[in-house]
Structure 1
Amino acid sequence: MSKLKRIKLLLSIIIIGFTVPVHAQVKSADNPEQVFLNPPESAKPGVLWMWMGANLSKSGITKDLEALKKEGFNRTTMFSLADVTTPWAGEINKSPTPEIISWTEPWWDLVKHAASESKRLGMDFGMFNGPSYESSGGPWITPELSMQEICYNEVKVKGNTHISINIGKPKVNPRGKSPFPMYNPETNKVEKPEIKARNTYYKDIALLALPASGIVPKDKIIDLTSKMQVDGQLEWDAPAGDWVIYRFGHTTSGTLIQPSQWKATGLECDKMSEEAVAFHLDHVVGEIKKYIGEFVGSSFTHVHFDSYEAGEPNWTPKMRSEFSSRRGYDLVPYLASFAKRTIGSKQDSLKFREDFSATIKDLYRDVYFATIAKKLKAANLTFLAEPYGGPWRQDDVMPYVGKVMTEFWTHKGKYSPYELDPTVAALRKSGQNIIEAEGFTGDPTDSKWDETPAWLKSMGDAAFCAGVNQLILHRFVQQPWDEKYKPGATMGQWGTHFDRTQTWWEPGKAMVEYWKRCQALLQWGHINDTKDDFFVAEQTGNVDLKHIRRSDGDMDIFFVANTNRSLGAAKCSFKVVGKQPELWNPVTGEMKDLPQFDEQNGATSIQLNFEDSQSFFIVFRKPAVKKSNAVNFPASQSLATLDGSWDVKFDAAWGGPVKPVRFNSLTDWTKNEENGIKYYSGTALYTKVFNATYLSKENSKNLLIDLGTVKHIASVKLNNVELGVVWTAPWNIQIPAGLLKKSNNKLEIAVTNVWANRLIGDEQEPADMEWLPGHMNSGSFLKEFPDWFLNNKPRPSKGRFTFTTWNYFTKDSPLISSGLLGPVKIIHSENKL
């Protein structure tokens, strides 16, 4: 951007009175130890809260918010979508609440309830700017205010005579220019629907005559616009030669918002028209004030604009004047380049297309982003956006956005950023500290009720190392129904299943605590991007180490993560000397000095051992003190293996055995001959009474319970004392001093697996719901709500236990290894992290 353009941009921001807000965050002056041990509100993650079509309830909204608050979240951003995403907008027939249509009064009543409950709970609530997740529009957008495209009609004539001809209006494909198709209930097809306005709405731009072939010199273009009558009739004395007459105009591109309920679907607004963008924002803000105005600025705080997928328009009513004022020449002679004609020269036509694209980028900045910022600022609402993917320059538009969000996916089980690195770089350039990310967005190959906290960990750590310091989870679905209907509503095929109906929701709080500790330190101080500040040597195993550094004054904190799901070790060097390295474990909250290190070449080198997906904070804040004969990771000694039998109690409400089962050894549930165990999903309680005659004065401290292999998360209690949750490697937990006795110890391990097995088990039974295939061969969605559900009757298929709106499985789908597989051991260690 030129200096003059930068000055103009700055002035425009000053004029609209918009400034980037100071986010509530960790202060540099804060003691990092205190924010690590007691993460502030700013370190809590948020969720994208998906309201799926008519499937909503006040009681469900309250339960959702209370569950999120208890789990450690403090923000929701609501999207109102179709009943399911297939990935297009899908409808489930025979809805129990058909009156709930997005952005109508019954729906707003629920929004008001959510705002009220958010205020009661002290939570931050906001929503997307229309009935969809893409992009900005709704049923209120008329064709005149919608995204526009150039269209033309051409007529060939011979000159050297008087031409009397009617140049008809251009005809366009009645199907809109939406980037993606959608399910059309009127035709029962997945398609780009016909948009009637593409045949009824039209405005002229110009009527031009050009030589019929070849490259056209500008002085050979004849502007006939003034000679054409309203009905298209042209009277013209044509010079000699062969000519093509082009009637250029514009119509709606027919681009629809998506994936909304069919009755809530409407056109995208014209992003380059201040009139259209202002109309859209005035409608959005007006409805918010009308229905929930009392909560604006307290519990209702922000309006969101998601990543852009609406395509690139090529016209707006004021395009000619905007182009002329910004580029210094008239675009009309070059209109024929849209008819694949070369004007002037190939270089001239190329320059025009570049100038035209630059004008579009300018208008997205000066009209779209500036108008949104001004309107939301005036309404005391924060402009929240994922400002990438569209026809603009990212650096241009970032200053307008109050809170910038980026995103990453869980593609093929690996961290997969989308436009994340350039967004982070732009935020750092602008001096912003909080970097939010729509996190763990998943597709059906990765997210089918089989995700686990351990599986998610390395991907979240990779995002932290890339600069993210506030996770906003994709996604959390509003669950409107009775607790017996689980897993319940889904977003269709999209997203990682972070729902209060998730099997591991309750113990999963330990993962949220981990994120809070990480985000607290990653918000502390300021980013230190000194080059070559960290390097690895003498690596063993298959670890993949990533890092990020935060600094303040003479303190430095490195977050170092093994983003591979395998263990190993490495000699890690940090560009710091004279300071004592400390290791802070964000999984457990424990902190200790690392006594074994070397200093050379201006760096501190430390041998670090990593389990799979393990991460540490390495902290330098106090003078170095080396201890002779001390080691960073002392070897552990196994004192006993708790082999033999275990009593295991399953939940009969979800198909498990009614009475506790005796396991003679620790085995995989899916290998059990009893279907109630083989297909079980949920929590099973393992109990064992054992003696510890090996205890002595020398080994009675620094004891651990090592669980071996766990599928997939475990809560541990010893002698009626809760020890905590084990959710990631290393799969062990500390025993408080003095708790383990020489005899009669009672160990209880509550192990929770994933939903997939019970869903697959249900597929062995007769069907009592009808399904329609998803539109990417990724599963199926509920065709209609069954009568037994609508009437709250016992279901006909007695062996079925689950209820959901999206089905990923068949009876032949492979089961997922589940249960406590062990071996469970008592371990003695000099120090534990």
Structure 2
Amino acid sequence: MLKWNHLCICALLAANTTSAQVKWPAITQTAKPWTRWWWEGSAVTESGLTSAMEKYKQAGLGGLEVTPIYGVKGQEKLFIPFLSDRWMHMLDYTLQEGKRLGLGIDMATGTGWPFGGPWVTDADASKYVTYKTYTLKAGTPLSEPVQFIQEPIFRSANNKPFAQTPQVLEPISANTNLQELAIDQVRFRKPLPLVALLAYDAKGAVTDITGKVDANGKLNWTPTGDVTLYALFQGWHGKMVERAAPGGEGMAIDHFSLPAIQHYLGHFDTAFKGHSLAGLRSFFNDSYEVDDARGQSNWTPGFFAEFKQRRGYDLQQQLPALFAKDGTDKHTRVLYDYRMTVSELLLEKFTQPWHGWAKSKQKLIRNQSHGSPSNILDLYEAIDIPETEGTDILRFKFATSAASFAGKQLASAEAATWLDDHFLSTLGDVKQSVDKYFIGGVNHIFYHGTNYSPTDSPWPGWLFYAAVHFTPSNPFWRDFDALNKYVAHCQSFLQQGRADNDVLLYFPFHDRNCQPGRDMLHHFDGMEGFEKTAFQHAGEEMLTHGYTFDLVSDKQLLSLKNNLQSAGGKYQAILLADVQHIPLVTFEKLLEQANNGATLLFYKNMPADVPGLHNAQSNQTKLKALKEKIRYDANGIAKYGKGRIILGNDIDALLEAGRVRSESLQGLQFVRRATSEGTVYFITNTGTSRFNGYVTPAAAGKYNILFDPMQERAGLASTRTGQDGKMQIMLQLEVGESCILKTGNVAVTGSVYPYVQAVGAPQNIAGSWQLQFLEGGPALPATATLSAPKAWTDSDQEGVKQFSGTAKYTTRFEKPDGPATATAWVLDLGKVSESAEVILNGKSIGKVLGPTYKLTIPVTALKGDNQLEIVVTNGMRNRIIDMEKKGINYKNFYNTNFPSKKAENRGADGLFTAANWQPAPAGLLSDVTLTPVSVMQDKATGKEMLQPVP
């Protein structure tokens, strides 16, 4: 990497015995990015594990999450059944090698996802409830049996309809070809057990006649008046473990049952006996994903008792209201209570017991709580490392808010899963994706992901169905270390201190759960279900206008201390955006906070109603009385005790009236953390043009330091005082470029940050170029001479269009003429496909990943005659196209083999194909230029060194 010791003038500030040096934080194992590590078929060997882990270490990864998945066809003899003695030996060996190499190790608590396996019995498997109704006249017995026959379902990851599959045996463990079947969901035709039979008369009186039904379903009871019977049956949802490894195929567990998770984890306890887990950091669970199937898992034995204990009334008295489709007030209240009970059971019967089990082993848990029918903020807070995924910042906020609110050090992300279709994403694309996670509050990146692949496996080796292939067979692996070093530098800052967010945005969980839907349960996953709502609008407005915030649940609000103090920090205000339903206890807590000095902000209106059936009328009356005590003035502001309550129709005006600070960073995106030394900002330019100007950070200090985490430059920031008296800080960021700004009041000594200003026009590096292919395939094309840099795919030379790998462009040039004020030259590679390393006079001066490909070269690094080598690496695409056209098969996996993100890239078999693609341009795609620049520095104070220029 390019070092600036020769470039920067050591501008020391006045001596101060308490001053500190400008320096980078140490790179820890956790600061480095980690990756999900798929063991296909668990077909690993000791030598293979060592070889792979050494490559991962060399590439700059900090740790691995072991997740066994489906196997590779033709490798069946190498399969190792999950948790068998042989499998445990391989885990032991991995932990041993991880310790030797300094790699952290997590492991999934199962294979694939969700939790499940062959040891999950019908009693512990996920379940659903269904019902039938019967209408009887007085004195008329029921003539038909009380019976419900479950219809068969077969859903395979390999798109095989039920009629075309081999016979599937029950129990599932009796099948010997589960890898081939790749079952996602299966149900068998059979009668379902009766849960309850209840008779409702016209006045609403209920009679429990469940005990009147014999073993054949005959009802031995005759009504004395007209009645409607509701018969409830318990079904087996049939969800199987997705992407299961050998020995891990089986039913998904019942997430609402304590015995189910206890029995499930007990199987691990048995396997772990006699093995040390000392090298294991954490257990992992992927997203809920039980209900990405037909029907919902929405029932558990003992539900009626749990409901009555939690909701204060007997659900069996209200089945007509629960199953109604009329949207009446009673229906929505009973349905809400049912959903709240499910939400609490998932937290208390699954998440918390799993956490307790791991804690008993001195291990952490990492969990993706999204997608579940629960208040996911509460699920995320109940674990050690909340993990998100996807591409939307507001989705990230659910996991990162829970970490921020609770003061957890880490929030992780399953990163770069499907940025584009297979073989298209570049390291530059991944960098942009990672930056977005950072903006959303993530500080612990897990790539998705890396396959274990035997060293003798033909190229491209074993692959996974996700589209960004972080594997050594991918040519971009050559420059992967540059991305990983960048991530490590960023995370070394972002794992310091705590998230510094000012607003708590109330999550309208109850509004959503009061809304009827097609299904019994709603599932919560970012803004899904909240599209075009005030909640989404409030979040987007705050992101756009520079306000920092966390999402907050009722349970979290109830834990707040006075003055909006949580375990993670202190907030300036709470914002409720057009909330309609709120539990009385939550509203009382909000007013208590206001009475003690907090600021409450209500966008559009105050809540109008309380949810749920129990004591609804009494609670409504109390809510109304509490609201009537709030007296707003003409500006919508009410004094309440020591605090204020503000009502308004404009988010920005509300926040301003609430005296909430905002950032003025001129469209740059950021995230902010508070440390013992001051404040840390991560700032990135997601715009379409270079940023070159001053910004006004709200937390600017007397001493402000800039760090370039990609090119490892650092120094004191240029500052000036704005017309409003606030400190402004100079930033220069290319498109897609990021920086770290560290502010504080502790005196700092060191070099000034090396800002640059052009002092002349760009000059082409003219002359001939030698193009030499270094590594890759299917074969190395011959060396060629070019009159100017151009894509190697533009040549008629044999093999260049099929080539994926690395080639070196070499030229010589004389030291360019520049003005006397030029102290450096900016080398601009122009357009590159896809990443490059620059070597000047035999010395590497840096790697560039895009979208901008520029490096600054000190004048002192140039000689009279210079050799410039630009080592360019493209991706897997062109070689894959060649393989597809030649009919060479690399898609030989038992499960999900091999999906495409885009419909146009699917072949006749429904699988991904690149056969219709054209080779992508590769190499240098434009002229290479040098621009003379002046490195602007101030030897005394570092203030107002550089005026912004176009």
Name the TM tier (shorter chain): 0.7 to 0.9
Report Cα offsets for 1:426-480 as digits up to 9, x if no partner: 221112232211212216xx04212212222222222212211121111112122
Change (3 A) 1:831 1:250: same
User: 2:711, 2:846 within 8 Å by CA — same for their partners in 1?
Assistant: no
- Give the distance between the partners of 2:396 and 2:228, measured in 1 at CA: 48
Structure 1 residue 330 displacement after superposition: 1.7
Name the residue aligned to 1:89: none
Q: Counterpart of 2:347?
A: 365
Q: How does 1:277-356 map to 2 (within 5 A)?
A: 277-289=261-273, 293-294=275-276, 296=277, 298-311=278-291, 312-337=296-321, 340=324, 346-356=328-338
Residues 1:613 and 2:592 are matched in the alignment: no
The answer to whether residue 557 in structure 2 is matched with residue 436 in structure 1 is no
Letter in 2 for 1:727: L
Tell me, what secondary structure is at the counterpart of 1:705?
A: strand
User: 8 Å contact 2:883–2:889 — kept in the other structure?
Assistant: no
Whether 2:95 is the aligned partner of 1:95: answer: no
Match of 2:875 among 751, 754, 771: 754
Single out whichever of 551-560 and 424-433 deviates more from structure 2.
Answer: 551-560
> Of 187, 193, 206, which residue of structure 2 is paired with 1:195?
187
CA contact (8 A) 2:754 2:936 kept: no
CA gap of 1:616–1:651, structure 2 versus 1, over 3 A, is: closer
Distance 2:19 2:34 in 1: 23
| Counterpart Cα distance in 2 of 1:759 and 1:204 | 55
- Aligned partners of 1:702 and 1:832 also within 8 Å: no
What is the alpha-carbon distance in structure 1 between the residues aligned to residue 496 and residue 900 of structure 2? 45
C-alpha separation in 1, matches of 2:701 and 2:906 = 61
- Aligned partners of 1:208 and 1:222 also within 8 Å: yes
* In structure 2, distance between residues paired with 1:30 and 1:125: 39
Tell me if 1:707 matches 2:829: yes
Partner of residue 148 from structure 1, selected from 109, 127, 145: 127
Letter of the 2:249 partner, please give it: T
User: More deviation in 434-443 or 171-180?
Assistant: 171-180
Distance 1:814 1:706 in 2: 28
Contact 1:407 1:418 in 2 (8 A): no
> Tell me, what secondary structure is at the counterpart of 1:619?
strand
Which residue in 1 is equivalent to 2:4? Answer: none
How many angstroms does 1:287 deviate by? Answer: 2.0
Taking the aligned partners of 2:810 and 2:445, their CA distance within structure 1 comes to 36
- Whole-angstrom distance in 2 between the partners of 1:398 and 1:261: 27
Name the residue aligned to 1:551: 674
Question: How far is the alpha carbon of 1:505 from its aligned partner?
Answer: 0.9
1:809 aligns with 2:914: yes
Q: Is contact 1:577–1:602 with CA below 8 Å preserved after alignment?
A: no
- 5 Å matches for 1:629-708? 632-637=755-760, 640-651=763-774, 654-657=777-780, 659-692=782-815, 694=817, 698=820, 701-708=823-830
1:202-243 C-alpha deviation (Å, 9 max, x unpaired): 4332222345xxxx5421x332123223333322232244x4
2:39 alignment partner, one of 47, 51, 58: 51
Q: Counterparts in 2 of 1:539-618, with a 5 A limit?
A: 544-552=667-675, 555-564=678-687, 566-576=689-699, 579-595=702-718, 597-618=720-741
The alpha-carbon deviation at position 487 of structure 1 amounts to 2.3
* TM-score w.r.t. length of structure 1: 0.80
Amino acid at match of 1:386: Q
3-state SS of paired residue (1:506):
helix
* Structure 1 position 117 matched with structure 2 position 97: yes
Alpha-carbon distance change, 547 to 660 in structure 1, aligned in 2, over 3 angstroms: same
Q: Distance in 2 between matches of 1:571 and 1:655?
A: 50
Displacement of 1:418 in angstroms is 7.1
Q: In 2 relative to 1, CA 405–32 (structure 1 residues): closer, same or farther, beyond 3 Å? A: farther
The 5 A counterparts of 1:772-791 are 774=899, 777=903
Question: How far is 1:658 from its partner?
Answer: 5.0
Residue in 2 that maps onto 1:72? 60
Identify the residue that residue 527 of structure 1 maps to in structure 2: 499
Q: Secondary structure, in 3 states, of the residue corresponding to 2:372?
A: coil
- Counterpart position of 2:842: 720
CA–CA distance in 1 between the matches of 2:304 and 2:701?
65
Describe the shift of the 1:482–1:359 C-alpha distance in structure 2 as closer, same or farther (beyond 3 A).
Answer: same
CA deviation after TM superposition for structure 1 residue 502, in Å: 1.6
* 2:444 counterpart residue number: 470
1:209 aligned residue: 199
Name the SS of the counterpart of 2:770 in structure 1.
strand
* Maintained 8 Å contact 1:689/1:746: yes
> Does 1:480 find its partner at 2:454?
yes
| Distance in 1 separating the partners of 2:115 and 2:440 | 29
Instruction: Decide whether the 8 Å contact of 1:576 with 1:602 is kept in 2.
Output: no
Whole-angstrom distance in 2 between the partners of 1:654 and 1:364: 50
**Contact 1:584/1:618 (<8 A) preserved:** yes
1:171 aligned partner:
149
Using the TM superposition, give the Cα deviation of residue 717 of structure 1 relative to its aligned residue in structure 2, in angstroms. 1.9
1:51-105 deviations in whole A, cap 9, x for unaligned?
223654443322221112112212111222224xxxxxxxx54335364344445
CA deviation profile, 1:400-429 (whole Å, cap 9, x unmatched): 3122212234xxxxxx34731122222211
Instruction: After TM superposition, give the deviation of residue 265 of structure 1 in Å.
Output: 2.1
The 1:768/1:479 distance shift into structure 2, 3 A limit, reads closer
| Equivalent residues, number | 738
Tell me, what secondary structure is at the counterpart of 1:237? coil
Deviations 1:780-812 (CA, angstroms, capped at 9, x unpaired): 7999xxxxxxxxxxxxxxxxxxxxx985401x3
CA deviation map 1:321-373 (0-9, x unaligned): 2112222222223334565488xx94334322221111111211221112112
SS class of match (1:73): coil
Distance in 1 (CA, whole Å) between partners of 2:908 and 2:486 is 36
How many angstroms apart in 1 are the aligned matches of 2:705 and 2:723? 18
Amino acid at match of 1:274: L
Is 1:507 the equivalent of 2:443? no
State the AA in 1 paired with 2:106.
G
Contact 2:792 2:921 in 1 (8 A): yes
**How far did 1:754 drift?**
1.0
Structure 2: distance between partners of 1:80 and 1:150: 32
Give the match for residue 25 of structure 1: none
Task: Answer yes or no: is 1:454 the counterpart of 2:428.
Answer: yes
Amino acid at match of 1:721: K
**Match among 817, 820, 824 for residue 924 of structure 2:** 820
Residue pair 1:178, 1:255 contacting (<8 A) in 2 also: no
Structure 1 residues 578 and 263, CA, compared in 2 at 3 Å: closer, same or farther?
A: closer
Q: 5+ residue gaps in structure 1?
A: 1-28, 84-91, 410-415, 538-543, 784-804
Q: 2:104 & 2:428 partners in 1: Cα distance?
A: 28
Q: Relative to 1, partners in 2 of residues 1:125 and 1:780: Cα closer, same or farther, differing over 3 Å?
A: farther
Distance in 1, Cα, partners of 2:350 & 2:422: 37
Distance 2:298 2:249 in 1: 23
1:303 and 1:770 mapped to 2: Cα distance? 30
Does the 8 Å CA contact 1:778/1:808 hold for their aligned counterparts? no
Q: What is the distance in 2 between the residues matched to 1:749 and 1:244?
A: 80
My pick for the range that moved more, 586-595 or 526-535, is: 526-535
Q: Percent identity?
A: 23
Amino acid at match of 2:380: M
Counterpart residue type for residue 390 of structure 2: F
CA deviations on 1:380-407 (whole Å, 9 max, x unpaired) are 3222211222122234333431222122
Task: Give secondary structure in 1 for the equivalent of 2:664.
Answer: strand
- Alignment counterpart, residue 82 of structure 1, candidates 50, 61, 70: 70
CA RMSD of aligned residues (A): 3.7
- Report deviation, 1:310: 0.8
User: In 2, Cα distance between the equivalents of 1:588 and 1:403?
Assistant: 30
Residues in 2 aligned to 1:764 and 1:269: alpha-carbon distance in whole angstroms: 44
Tell me the distance in 2 between the aligned counterparts of 1:830 and 1:305.
52
Deviations 1:15-58 (A, max 9, x none): xxxxxxxxxxxxxx99794444x323331111111222365444
Are the structure 2 counterparts of residues 112 and 596 from structure 1 closer, same or farther at C-alpha, using a change threshold of 3 Å?
A: closer
Q: What is the CA deviation profile of residues 744-768 of structure 1, one whole-angstrom value per residue up to 9, with x for unaligned ones?
A: x322221111111122233443556
Partner letter of residue 366 of structure 1?
E
Quick one: structure 1 residues 331 and 576, their matched pair in 2 at CA, closer, same or farther if it must change by over 3 Å?
closer
